[in-house]
């Protein structure tokens, strides 16, 4: 009899799971395991909540055959007396260190499953990773794809293995999660994918920048936790002509290969530009709490606080305001996003923040977004701002993005702050 542990991390699904499919093929006894790691849980109550939903769903999909432990994965694995460990490879420094620790105590095999194209699968001549997106996208588009893995047959845990309880959220984190989080898990991810392919993909190119409508897939948390397979999403979108969505998935892989090559992406400037950042705790606090006086940014920050998610166009504007207009270090903004985003992911978060800050891979590092011009263009009737900034709900389209036109008294009456920085005339 040979026993294998499949250690789940951020691949919380049964469909297209290469490590799980290989475990079933290669071994008599398969023990699916998830280890709750307090160091990761402490980073975000929102992600801890989504994780628990996803684990509950995974346990159900495996008909109860998911072992849950808390603490150190290496110890948990040792106590399960397995011959081998199968794991989906990951790119972050924490995941890499975990992989090294496991390899020291067990026979470890790693599999792909987190990306469409894994880091290192494509590389430019004379380099180990791409520094600019467009050539990466060209290479990514023609890189060979693996076959989707078959779903596993019903599994049964060996009789000596106790599955263990799934704890309550309160037992894992002290902070309160945001009130309107998406529900985690593979069934919910697949439901959203099917719905988006059916009725969102056709208009994605046209609506993806409009935050006031449901124009994007909202799959990011499900991709972050692997409740859906990135490869399956890419292939099903490509089969329906959804090239624009496929391109966004290439951005995700682009930042993964960047993090793989530059493990301190979350800490150090990828392209240092000698920028001196301003210390301004009050401005940072106003930004975090959605009180900058710039409606589109405040709407985004409040969406983040209540839903654990923010529309991409607004993420760009909120980040640009913090780093380019307020001169505050991108690391402070990235830390706040990382605490609240259900899709919070080191590669995508740090990669995008550095892109906006001009220390990353943007080929135009001095670009500054004008939040009023952008708001007029992408939220022309103010629907998005009105939804998240109720103080401005009654204003017409002319004032909703520039409430300072009402003057100090008008703002005071609304209970809305004057802008923290002067925005150049929008017209
Ligand atoms: C400052 C900033 C921070 C960000 N932090 C994160 C983060 O922590 N985690 C995260 O997943 N995304 C992050 N993004 C990227 C992007 O905003 C989200 O992926 C997107 O808004 C998710 O919504 P969606 O699933 O509806 O996207 P869709 O438009 O439906 O796109 C489909 C998928 O493509 C991927 N994707 C889309 N845009 C990007 C992008 N610019 N970079 C990388 N992947 C992308 C995501 O996996 C997304 O789910 C950040 C963007 C900015 C500007």
Output the pLDDT for position 83: 86
Question: For ligand 1, is residue 27 a contact (CB within 6 Å)?
Answer: no
Whether 253 is in the pocket of ligand 1, judged by its Cβ within 6 Å, is no
- Tell whether ligand 1 has an atom less than 6 A from the beta carbon of residue 255: yes
Please say whether the dihedral angle defined by the alpha carbons of residues 110, 116, 119 and 123, taken in this order, is positive or negative: positive
With a 6 Å cutoff on the Cβ, whether 348 touches ligand 1 is yes
Beta pairing partners, 87: 7, 110
- CATH architecture of the domain formed by 115-146+186-261: Alpha Horseshoe (1.25)
Q: Is the CB of 312 under 6 A from ligand 1?
A: yes
CA of 252 to the centre of ligand 1 (A): 7
> How many angstroms does the Cα of residue 342 sit away from the middle of ligand 1?
11
pLDDT at 425 (0 to 100): 64
Phi, psi (degrees; rounded to nearest 5) at 85: -130, 130
Any atom of ligand 1 within 6 Å of the Cβ of 250: no
Which residues have CB under 8 Å from 405's CB, separation 6+?
A: 398, 399
Q: Is the CB of 115 under 6 A from ligand 1?
A: no
Distant-in-sequence, close-in-space partners of 293: CB < 8 Å, separation ≥ 6: 286, 403, 404, 411, 416, 417, 418, 419, 420
Quote the pLDDT of residue 142: 97
376 CB near ligand 1 (under 6 Å): no
Distance between Cα 312 and ligand 1 center (Å):
6
Ligand 1 proximity of 287 Cβ (cutoff 6 Å) = no
Residue 36 backbone class (left: φ over 0; alpha: ψ -120 to 50; beta: rest): beta
pLDDT given at position 426? 52
What SS3 string covers 47-79?
HHHHHHHHHHHHHHHCCCCCEEEECCHHHHHHH
Please, what are the averages of pLDDT over each run of 10 residues along the chain (427 residues)? 96 98 97 95 96 98 98 94 95 96 94 97 94 97 97 96 96 96 98 98 97 98 98 98 97 98 98 94 98 98 98 98 97 98 98 97 92 97 98 95 96 97 73
If you measure from the C-alpha of residue 123 to the centroid of ligand 1, how many angstroms do you get, rounded to a whole number? 23
Atom in ligand 1 nearest the alpha carbon of residue 311: 21
What local confidence, expressed as pLDDT, does residue 424 receive? 76
Which residue, by CA, sits nearest to atom 36 of ligand 1? 248
CATH architecture of 3-114: 3-Layer(aba) Sandwich (3.40)
Atom of ligand 1 nearest to the CA of 249: 34
Which of 220, 258, 316, 323 most suits a substitution to test ligand 1, by most atoms within 8 Å of the C-beta?
220
Residue carrying the six token digits 């599994």: 155
Please determine whether the domains at 115-146+186-261 and 281-414 fall in the same fold group of CATH.
Answer: no
Residue 374 and residue 318 in contact, taking contact as beta carbons nearer than 8 Å: no
- pLDDT 10s digits, 123-168: 999 899 999 999 999 999 999 999 999 999 999 999 999 999 999 9
pTM comes to 0.98
Q: How far is CA 205 from CA 120, 175, 208, 383, 391, in A?
A: 29, 37, 6, 20, 32
Distance from the alpha carbon of residue 344 to the mean position of ligand 1, in angstroms? 9
Identify which of 211, 184, 162, 190 has the alpha carbon closest to the alpha carbon of residue 317: 211
- Cross-sheet strand order for the sheet of 67-70: 67-70, 29-36, 3-8, 84-88, 107-111
Alpha helices in 225-370 (DSSP H): 230-239, 243-261, 281-288, 295-307, 312-320, 330-340, 346-357
Q: Are strands 29-36 and 3-8 parallel, antiparallel or unpaired?
A: parallel
Closest ligand 1 atom to 223 CA: 47
Closest C-alpha among 42, 50, 46, 51 to residue 306: 46
Among 212, 183, 208, which residue's Cα sits nearest to residue 57? 183
Whether domain 281-414 has CATH 1.10.579.10 = yes
Q: At what angle do helices 243-261 and 230-239 cross, to 10 degrees?
A: 150
Separation of alpha carbons 131 and 363, rounded Å:
10
SS3 92: coil
End-to-end Cα, the chain, rounded Å: 74
**Are the C-beta atoms of 116 and 230 separated by less than 8 Å?**
yes
Give, as one character, the DSSP assignment of residue 321: I
The finding on whether 307 has its CB within 6 A of some atom of ligand 1 is no
Task: Show me where the domains of the chain are located.
Answer: 3-114, 115-146+186-261, 281-414
Nearest CA to ligand 1 atom 17: 312
Residue 101 to residue 11: CA distance in whole angstroms: 19
């Amino acid at each position: 009899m040979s026993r294998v542990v499949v250690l789940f991390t951020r691949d919380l699904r049964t469909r297209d799971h290469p490590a799980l499919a290989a475990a079933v093929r290669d071994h008599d006894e398969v023990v699916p395991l998830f280890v709750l790691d307090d160091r990761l849980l402490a980073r975000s109550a929102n992600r801890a909540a989504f994780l628990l939903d996803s684990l509950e769903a995974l346990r159900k999909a495996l008909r109860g055959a998911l072992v849950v432990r808390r603490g150190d994965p290496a110890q948990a694995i040792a106590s399960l007396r397995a011959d081998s460990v199968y794991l989906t490879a990951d790119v972050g420094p924490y995941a890499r260190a975990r992989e090294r620790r496991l390899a020291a105590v067990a026979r470890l095999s790693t599999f792909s499953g987190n990306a469409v194209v894994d880091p290192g699968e494509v590389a430019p001549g004379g380099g180990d990773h791409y520094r600019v997106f467009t050539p990466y996208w060209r290479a990514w588009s023609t890189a060979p794809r693996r076959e989707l893995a078959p779903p596993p047959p019903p599994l049964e845990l060996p009789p000596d293995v106790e599955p263990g309880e799934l704890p309550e959220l309160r037992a894992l984190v002290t902070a309160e999660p945001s009130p309107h989080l998406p529900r985690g898990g593979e069934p919910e991810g697949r439901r959203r994918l099917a719905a988006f392919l059916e009725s969102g993909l056709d208009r994605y190119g046209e609506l993806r920048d409009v935050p006031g409508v449901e124009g994007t897939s909202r799959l990011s948390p499900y991709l972050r936790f692997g409740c859906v397979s990135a490869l399956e999403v890419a292939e099903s979108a490509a089969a329906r002509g959804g090239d624009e969505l496929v391109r966004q998935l290439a951005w995700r892989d682009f930042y993964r290969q960047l993090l793989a090559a530059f493990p301190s992406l979350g800490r150090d400037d990828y392209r240092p530009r000698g920028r001196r950042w301003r210390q301004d705790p009050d401005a940072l606090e106003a930004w975090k709490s959605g009180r900058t006086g710039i409606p589109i940014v405040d709407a985004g920050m409040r969406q983040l606080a209540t839903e654990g998610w923010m529309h991409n166009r607004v993420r760009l504007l909120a980040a640009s305001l913090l780093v380019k207009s307020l001169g505050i270090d991108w690391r402070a903004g990235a830390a706040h996003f990382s605490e609240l985003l259900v899709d919070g992911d080191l590669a995508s978060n740090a990669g995008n923040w550095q892109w906006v800050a001009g220390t990353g891979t943007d080929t135009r590092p001095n670009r500054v977004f004008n939040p009023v011009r952008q708001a007029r263009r992408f939220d022309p009737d103010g629907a998005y701002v009105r939804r998240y900034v109720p103080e401005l709900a009654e204003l017409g389209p002319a004032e909703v993005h520039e409430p300072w036109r009402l003057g100090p008294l008008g703002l005071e009456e609304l209970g809305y702050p004057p802008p923290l920085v002067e925005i150049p005339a929008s017209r």
